[in-house]
Protein backbone atom coordinates (compact mmCIF):
# COMPACT_ATOMS: atom_id res chain seq x y z
CA UNK A 1 0.00 0.00 0.00
CA UNK A 2 2.67 2.51 1.06
CA UNK A 3 4.78 1.51 -1.96
CA UNK A 4 1.94 2.38 -4.36
CA UNK A 5 1.40 5.77 -2.72
CA UNK A 6 5.13 6.50 -2.91
CA UNK A 7 5.19 5.57 -6.60
CA UNK A 8 2.27 7.91 -7.31
CA UNK A 9 3.91 10.77 -5.41
CA UNK A 10 7.17 10.26 -7.30
CA UNK A 11 5.30 10.23 -10.62
CA UNK A 12 3.53 13.49 -9.77
CA UNK A 13 6.86 15.08 -8.77
CA UNK A 14 8.43 13.91 -12.04
CA UNK A 15 5.58 15.42 -14.05
CA UNK A 16 5.92 18.74 -12.20
CA UNK A 17 9.69 18.89 -12.77
CA UNK A 18 9.31 18.07 -16.46
CA UNK A 19 6.57 20.72 -16.84
CA UNK A 20 8.66 23.41 -15.14
CA UNK A 21 11.70 22.65 -17.29
CA UNK A 22 9.98 21.87 -20.58
CA UNK A 23 11.70 24.74 -22.42
CA UNK A 24 15.14 23.43 -21.56
CA UNK A 25 14.15 19.86 -22.41
CA UNK A 26 12.64 20.85 -25.75
CA UNK A 27 15.74 22.84 -26.67
CA UNK A 28 17.79 19.62 -26.44
CA UNK A 29 15.50 17.87 -28.93
CA UNK A 30 14.87 20.88 -31.25
CA UNK A 31 18.15 22.80 -31.48
CA UNK A 32 17.09 24.30 -34.85
CA UNK A 33 14.57 26.49 -33.03
CA UNK A 34 17.25 28.12 -30.92
CA UNK A 35 18.01 31.76 -31.67
CA UNK A 36 21.49 32.16 -33.13
CA UNK A 37 24.34 32.35 -30.64
CA UNK A 38 25.48 35.64 -32.18
CA UNK A 39 22.05 37.18 -31.49
CA UNK A 40 22.14 35.79 -27.95
CA UNK A 41 25.56 37.27 -27.27
CA UNK A 42 24.41 40.76 -28.26
CA UNK A 43 20.98 40.65 -26.66
CA UNK A 44 20.19 42.14 -23.30
CA UNK A 45 16.88 40.75 -22.07
CA UNK A 46 15.37 41.66 -18.71
CA UNK A 47 12.14 40.10 -17.46
CA UNK A 48 10.06 41.77 -14.75
CA UNK A 49 7.68 39.13 -13.44
CA UNK A 50 6.21 37.28 -10.48
CA UNK A 51 6.44 33.65 -9.54
CA UNK A 52 2.69 32.95 -9.81
CA UNK A 53 1.88 34.73 -13.10
CA UNK A 54 0.83 32.40 -15.93
CA UNK A 55 2.01 34.74 -18.69
CA UNK A 56 5.34 35.13 -16.89
CA UNK A 57 5.70 31.33 -16.93
CA UNK A 58 4.90 31.24 -20.65
CA UNK A 59 7.49 33.96 -21.27
CA UNK A 60 10.15 32.07 -19.29
CA UNK A 61 9.36 28.89 -21.18
CA UNK A 62 9.55 30.69 -24.55
CA UNK A 63 12.89 32.32 -23.70
CA UNK A 64 14.27 28.97 -22.51
CA UNK A 65 13.01 27.17 -25.63
CA UNK A 66 14.69 29.69 -27.89
CA UNK A 67 17.90 29.65 -25.88
CA UNK A 68 17.65 33.35 -25.07
CA UNK A 69 19.58 34.33 -21.94
CA UNK A 70 17.71 36.72 -19.69
CA UNK A 71 17.89 38.34 -16.29
CA UNK A 72 14.72 37.99 -14.24
CA UNK A 73 13.51 40.22 -11.45
CA UNK A 74 10.61 39.22 -9.20
CA UNK A 75 8.75 42.47 -8.52
CA UNK A 76 7.12 41.05 -5.40
CA UNK A 77 10.31 39.88 -3.72
CA UNK A 78 12.75 42.61 -4.78
CA UNK A 79 11.97 46.22 -3.79
CA UNK A 80 14.49 47.67 -6.26
CA UNK A 81 13.02 45.56 -9.07
CA UNK A 82 9.55 46.82 -8.12
CA UNK A 83 10.81 50.41 -8.29
CA UNK A 84 12.36 49.77 -11.74
CA UNK A 85 9.14 48.08 -12.90
CA UNK A 86 7.08 51.07 -11.78
CA UNK A 87 9.52 53.45 -13.49
CA UNK A 88 8.78 51.57 -16.73
CA UNK A 89 5.10 52.32 -16.27
CA UNK A 90 4.08 49.14 -14.46
CA UNK A 91 0.50 48.27 -15.22
CA UNK A 92 0.83 44.53 -15.72
CA UNK A 93 3.20 41.63 -15.94
CA UNK A 94 5.32 40.49 -17.48
CA UNK A 95 7.31 43.39 -18.83
CA UNK A 96 10.24 42.35 -20.99
CA UNK A 97 13.02 44.77 -21.89
CA UNK A 98 14.75 43.49 -25.02
CA UNK A 99 17.67 45.74 -25.99
CA UNK A 100 15.70 48.78 -24.80
CA UNK A 101 12.40 47.75 -26.44
CA UNK A 102 9.65 47.27 -23.86
CA UNK A 103 7.22 44.43 -24.44
CA UNK A 104 4.17 44.21 -22.21
CA UNK A 105 2.60 40.81 -21.74
CA UNK A 106 3.41 37.51 -23.39
CA UNK A 107 4.30 38.29 -27.03
CA UNK A 108 6.80 35.85 -28.60
CA UNK A 109 6.72 37.59 -32.00
CA UNK A 110 7.57 40.95 -30.45
CA UNK A 111 10.43 39.39 -28.48
CA UNK A 112 11.93 37.84 -31.62
CA UNK A 113 11.48 41.09 -33.57
CA UNK A 114 13.25 43.08 -30.83
CA UNK A 115 16.18 40.64 -30.93
CA UNK A 116 16.87 41.38 -34.61
pLDDT in tens, the chain (116 residues): 777 888 888 888 777 776 666 666 665 565 555 444 554 456 689 999 999 999 999 999 999 999 999 999 999 999 999 999 999 998 899 999 998 999 999 999 999 999 88
Coil, strand or helix at 93: coil
- Contact (Cβ atoms closer than 8 angstroms) between residue 116 and residue 109: no
The predicted structure's pLDDT at residue 6 = 83
Q: Where are the domains of the chain?
A: 2-115
Contact partners, residue 15, CB within 8 Å, separation at least 6:
none
Can you say how many angstroms the Cα of residue 49 is from the centroid of all Cα atoms in its chain? 9
Beta strands in the chain (DSSP E): 45-49, 71-74, 95-98, 101-104
Contact partners, residue 77, CB within 8 Å, separation at least 6:
51
The predicted structure's pLDDT at residue 30 = 57
- Contact (Cβ atoms closer than 8 angstroms) between residue 90 and residue 78: no
Give, rounded to a whole angstrom, the gap between the first and last alpha carbons of the chain: 57
The predicted structure's pLDDT at residue 14 = 77
The predicted structure's pLDDT at residue 60 = 96
The number of beta carbons lying within 10 Å of the beta carbon of residue 65 is: 19
The predicted structure's pLDDT at residue 104 = 95
Name the CATH superfamily housing domain 2-115.
Glutaredoxin (3.40.30.10)
The predicted structure's pLDDT at residue 49 = 96
Task: Quote the CA–CA distance of 39 and 41 in Å, as a whole number.
Answer: 5
Amino acid sequence: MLGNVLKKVMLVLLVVVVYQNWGKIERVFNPSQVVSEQTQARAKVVLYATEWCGYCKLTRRFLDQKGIAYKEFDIEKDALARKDYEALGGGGIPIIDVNGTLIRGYDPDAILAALK
